[in-house]
Structure 1
Amino acid sequence: MTNATPALPADLLDRALRDRGVDRFAGVPCSYFAALIPLLQQDGRYVACANEGAAFATACGFSLAGAPGAVLLQNSGLGNLVNPLTSLSAPYDIGVLMFVSHRGDPDGPSDEPQHRLMGAATVPLLDALRVPNWQLSPNLDELGTTLDAALDAVRSGRTAALVVPRGVMAKPAPAEQLPETSQRPGTEDVVAALGALLRDELVVSTTGFTSRWLFAGADRPGNFYMQGSMGHALSLGLGLALSRTDRRVFVLDGDGACLMHMGALGTVGAQHPGNLVHVVLDNQQYESTGGQPTAGARTRFEDVARASGYRWGGRVTSLSDLKPVLEHVGSQPGPALLVIETTAGAGAAPPRATASLDPDAIRARFMTEAAG
């Protein structure tokens, strides 16, 4: 993409796809698609899925119904959809059109550490999986030709991918700043309050803004900041809790991340670690990718936890309730799950932990603390 080529407007891409019979989408948000997803949501043409494998299978369902299904995903999520791609789409010749954002593109601008390996592997992985792929260009003269080639493959029963580099899709217009009317506390306030209550606990914080706010306001060697690996904070915390039964382990999770691999709650319930406390910050959106709504507005995580075998599950809606509830949770054996209802943070989030610490430094100091 050159400086002389304007970014591709979301409505133009949507119109070109509709003209070619592509009208149903499923996905997991990426900021590269921050303008496209709300456009599709306006008339119910986008299904927000818990993870990329579920999104891909949903799109296969669209295709089985007669019109090509499409998936929007970040390339980090390719690993989540390899199974349905190779064991559903391929053997049954069910074609799906994938839009894959290319985070960590080795030929693009510098990106975060968690994107570099998958960035370099994205196109080779698609090639290895026999997925024909093209790079999406903002050049309007190329757009129709690229879409036609990809959809020819899809209609022949093959999944095809359009790889989307940074800057190809136009950004959304700035959202109108409406006055905050919710009584829920902001994410940064909740994380600050939690940080003030920590003592010698080992803490795993999920990817996204949660880890940013925790690092900015309550950094300590016993915090492990996850960047990437969305949905796996709980399983990482479970391994720690089972290995260090003498230390209490806190997992700071998000609603979108918890939804992504909710089966981990069943594993925690089966293993029953008495030293594990699972905190879910529930703002009902993917805040770090543009505020797209999650699929969990009706999900009562505390009910799912109790049904999965957690000893305790509860919910708070205000900071004033947080300390007494955590004291109650800390006085009894776990596993316990606490949902804290939050709103999106005000203003820009602080930098990621890796802006100051290399990932290996985060790991090394945490391991030293965990061994103590």
Structure 2
Amino acid sequence: MIAAEDFCSELEGRGFHFASGVPCSFFGGPIAHLSRTPGRYVPAANEGGALATAAGAALAGRRSYVMLQNSGLGNLVNPLTSLVMTYRIPVLTFVSLRGWPDPAQDEPQHEVMGTKTIPLLEMFGLPHWLLRADSDAKHFAEILTAAEEAVAAGEAPFVLVEKGAVGKCPATAEERDDRLDSHEVVQLLTELADEAPIVATTGYTGRELFGVSDRPANFYMQGSMGHASSIALGVALADPDRTVVILDGDGAALMHMGTLSVIADQAPANLVHVVLDNGIHESTGGQSTTSGRTRLEEVAAAAGYRSAVRCQTLDEVREQFTAARQSPGPHLRLIPTRARSGPMPPRATATHSPEAMRDRFSAALVASSGSA
């Protein structure tokens, strides 16, 4: 294992002073370490944006690297192939290997990309090396030396990182006692939603909903971060007479913020979009999002939502959610929440297979078709 501080200092010693990425628990240590010094790490909204940002820094003469999870590799393919590879912009990318070598040892959403990460890089002809959990500093240095040669040749090298290869260090998150407890918020929302279908984003949000009230009308999104709102939009447009609820997180909403514009353009009157905003990517280690500067309710209002309100108390949540269900939408309700504490419920896949969740959710939609 390479200590997080040593991982960063080895890269910095070789002139890699600019980093960007999307949080993964495998890289929680380096991201936390870099984030203590302003300007050393850019938290990107999505993986493609991280690569493009690093490419821009490289064009300006700075050696750059990116850290991301292989489940987000799909978001990287377009700027990788049409920007970095086409223009031969040298950017070093670190990718965590979820769902590898044995997909059965990880969550179902990592199975496909876990087995396809290495073949995908080979298909593109990209140089890559494997940093294993038992790698030491000497082996890491050897990998970086080889990667530097690829960078010097204008290539885009990849280092694939096994679980446990890089050490952890605690992320620093601001304590906010003025925010609501997410568990209490989710309990209230499930009561207010009644029989309406709820599409919950990936990570702790979906797990919390599963722990509070598991029901067929809940769709727990595994992976595909940032797309809960698009899934719910499709559900809402398929049956305009049925209320549909999105249970989103700030990091997920920011990842594909353009969907807010699409929702507003399609104007589904039956859609209620709830965003739990705790300011961090909690399930990957508490790395900060950019919601501290971007007020998502104002973005939704500017995009064209019928209403977009920040709710500071449980009474406001009850009042504003009820009002949203009783008037044409789309509506957004942003709820500032604290970082979660205590044990988290298991993922829904602990008891339901993805196919079973699909089938029961579809059946619930058919049964409620045309209902309010």
Give the equivalent residue in structure 2 for 1:35. 29
Equivalent of residue 324 in structure 1, options 305, 319, 323: 319
Give the equivalent residue in structure 2 for 1:192. 187
Give the equivalent residue in structure 2 for 1:255. 250
Distance 1:177 1:150 in 2: 33
User: Given that residues 173 and 288 in structure 2 are in contact (C-alpha distance below 8 angstroms), is that contact kept between their aligned partners in structure 1?
Assistant: no
Summarize deviations over 1:270-307 as a string: whole Å, max 9, x none: 11110011111100100100110002211111111121
User: Given that residues 103 and 110 in structure 2 are in contact (C-alpha distance below 8 angstroms), is that contact kept between their aligned partners in structure 1?
Assistant: no
Distance 2:207 2:218 in 1: 12
Equivalent of residue 128 in structure 2, options 127, 130, 133: 133
Distance 1:143 1:194 in 2: 48
- 5+ residue gaps, structure 1, are 1-6
Provide the secondary structure at the position in 2 that maps to 1:281. strand
User: Which stretch of structure 1 is more off in the superposition, 70-79 or 163-172?
Assistant: 163-172
2:32 corresponds to which letter in structure 1? P
User: Given that residues 193 and 245 in structure 2 are in contact (C-alpha distance below 8 angstroms), is that contact kept between their aligned partners in structure 1?
Assistant: no
Give the equivalent residue in structure 1 for 2:206. 211
The residue correspondences of 1:109-258 to structure 2 (distance < 5 A) are 110-137=105-132, 138-172=135-169, 182-258=177-253
Q: CA deviation at 1:172?
A: 2.3
Give the equivalent residue in structure 2 for 1:69. 64
Summarize deviations over 1:74-104 as a string: whole Å, max 9, x none: 0011100111111111111101100100000
1:270 corresponds to which letter in structure 2? D
Distance 2:16 2:37 in 1: 14
2:89 corresponds to which letter in structure 1? I
1:209 corresponds to which letter in structure 2? Y
Give the equivalent residue in structure 1 for 2:364. 369
1:124 corresponds to which letter in structure 2? P
Distance 1:359 1:59 in 2: 35
Summarize deviations over 1:240-291 as a string: whole Å, max 9, x none: 0000112100000000000000111111111111001111110010010011
Cα 1:360–1:107 shift into 2, 3 Å? closer
Give the equivalent residue in structure 2 for 1:96. 91
Are 2:13 and 1:19 aligned?
Answer: yes
Distance 2:340 2:188 in 1: 14
Q: CA deviation at 1:176?
A: 9.2
Distance 1:368 1:252 in 2: 20
Distance 2:280 2:173 in 1: 17
Distance 1:177 1:231 in 2: 22
Cα 1:92–1:282 shift into 2, 3 Å? same
Give the equivalent residue in structure 1 for 2:370. none
Supply the RMSD in Å over aligned alpha carbons: 1.6
Q: TM-score, normalised by structure 1?
A: 0.95
- 5+ residue gaps, structure 2, are 368-372
Q: CA deviation at 1:39?
A: 0.8
1:22 corresponds to which letter in structure 2? F
Distance 2:113 2:173 in 1: 35
Distance 2:336 2:172 in 1: 23
Identical-pair percentage = 48
Q: CA deviation at 1:126?
A: 1.1
Instruction: Find runs of 4+ consecutive structure 1 residues off by over 4 angstroms.
Output: 175-178
Q: TM-score, normalised by structure 2?
A: 0.95
Distance 1:363 1:107 in 2: 24
User: Given that residues 30 and 289 in structure 1 are in contact (C-alpha distance below 8 angstroms), is that contact kept between their aligned partners in structure 2?
Assistant: yes
User: Given that residues 225 and 353 in structure 1 are in contact (C-alpha distance below 8 angstroms), is that contact kept between their aligned partners in structure 2?
Assistant: yes
